[in-house]
Amino acid sequence: MALLEVNNLKTVFKTDAGTVQAVRNVSFKLEQGEALGIVGESGSGKSQMMYSIIGLLAENGKVEEGQFFFDGQDISPSNFTHKKDYDNFMRQFRGNSMAMIFQDPMTFLNPVLKIETQLVEPMLNHTDMTREQAKEKALELLKKVGIPSPEKRINQYPFEFSGGMRQRIVIAIALANNPKLIIADEPTTALDVTIQAQVLEIIDDLKKESNSAVIMITHDLGVVAKLCDRIAIMYGGKIVEIGTDKDIFYNPKHPYTEGLLRCIANPEDDNEKTLTPIAGSPPDLLNPPKGCPFVDRCEKAMRICKDFAPEVTEVSEGHQCSCWLLDKRAVRE
Ligand code: SF4
């Protein structure tokens, strides 16, 4: 049984300009201990897809369709008669089963509480540990994520730490309840390259040690290269390609994936010169294209791409891609 199973998720947002179809028919599975990277440009639906699943959509957002199972349990909003019951259930569920790491650690850390309080209180709320046991575990976690002199620093406030150190503290808090799933949304985007690599290494070590599953949401394919076992590429609210890290890096099939790969610096090259950004802009999800969402930016687009959405093609076991180039029925013109 998969740890997380998402079937046919559709999420919309009501805005003054109309209804934004942010996530369109997304399905995927995540196994225990697996790391899945969700990669796409901003506005591709990657974060909203995740927030739909974990019950953190903004007020104007709504899961219109879809079913999600976590460890076999149905956690879809449609499984609850009243929104209040769903919200209460999800609050408890997030605290017990999953941990979240966001781009800006300060959206998570409370600026007026000492690190000790922020680490120890969730453990007291969600486990039967005593305060002493929780403090001991807090010190152990700070040590694990590389905070020097944890006995002294546990008594400090978030502003006394650098950005990279704050992100390490968020990771320590995230791990305090041994979550089955860690969700990291652009966790290293605000950090410089060296600190970025260190934070990714910490998440990777902890994942291996605790056997937690990880979902890493990022716009940067380079970030998922080391950490993720499988990668889903999102575009225009859909998963357009999903496969193992090897499938995506060495055998990409979707022209958008190929474009993203051309945007990653190759350390062995004279890299600045080899980076080629994808020309054009993402589709307007107020009025999503009826054919392939990538059609306006695709160098390989054919006539059929404009009017008909490509179906999912199984390239090899677990490697799927939605592109007419893989469909024998498509007329090449
Ligand atoms: Fe390009 Fe057509 Fe494939 Fe879309 S379906 S990515 S437009 S070739």
Q: What is the 3-state secondary structure (H, E, C) of 88-139?
A: HHHHHHHHHHEEEECCCHHHCCCCCCCHHHHHHHHHHHHCCCCHHHHHHHHH
Ligand 1 atom with minimal separation from the 256 CA: 6
DSSP string, 15-79: ETTEEEEEEEEEEEEE-TT-EEEEE--TTSSHHHHHHHHHT---TTEEEEEEEEEETTEE--GGG
- The structural domains of the chain, with segments of one domain joined by +, span 4-97+179-326
Strands 312-316 vs 4-15: parallel, antiparallel or unpaired: unpaired
Angle at 227 between CA 293 and CA 172, to 5 degrees: 115
Q: Does domain 4-97+179-326 have CATH number 3.40.630.30?
A: no
Note the pLDDT of residue 293: 96
274-319: pLDDT as tens digits: 567 888 999 999 999 999 999 999 999 999 999 999 999 999 999 9
> For position 311, what pLDDT does the model report?
95
Give the pLDDT confidence score for residue 156 in this predicted structure: 97
* Ligand 1 site, residue 294, Cβ cutoff 6 A: yes
Identify the CA nearest to 321 among candidates 236, 233, 249.
Answer: 233
Residue owning tokens 């001991």: 136
- 165 is written with which tokens? 């150190």
241, 298, 329, 333, best to mutate for ligand 1 pocket (most atoms within 8 Å of CB): 298
Mean pLDDT, 10 residues at a time, over the chain (333 residues)?
Answer: 96 97 96 96 94 95 96 95 95 88 87 96 89 95 92 96 92 87 89 84 87 93 90 97 97 96 69 70 94 96 96 97 94 82
Instruction: Name the phi and psi angles at 261, rounded to 5.
Output: -65, -35
Which of 233, 260, 292 for a ligand 1 pocket mutation test, highest count of atoms within 8 Å of Cβ?
A: 292
199 phi and psi angles, rounded to 5 deg? -65, -40
pTM of the entire structure? 0.92
Phi-psi map region of 187: left, alpha, beta (phi>0 left; psi -120 to 50 alpha):
alpha
Report pLDDT digits (tens) over 39-74: 999 899 999 999 999 999 999 999 999 999 999 999
pLDDT number for residue 106: 87
pLDDT of residue 126: 81
* Cα angle for residues 76, 27, 30 (degrees, 5° grid): 85
Q: What is the pLDDT of residue 305?
A: 97
List residues bridging with 183 in a β-sheet. Answer: 100, 215
pLDDT computed for residue 270 by the predictor: 53
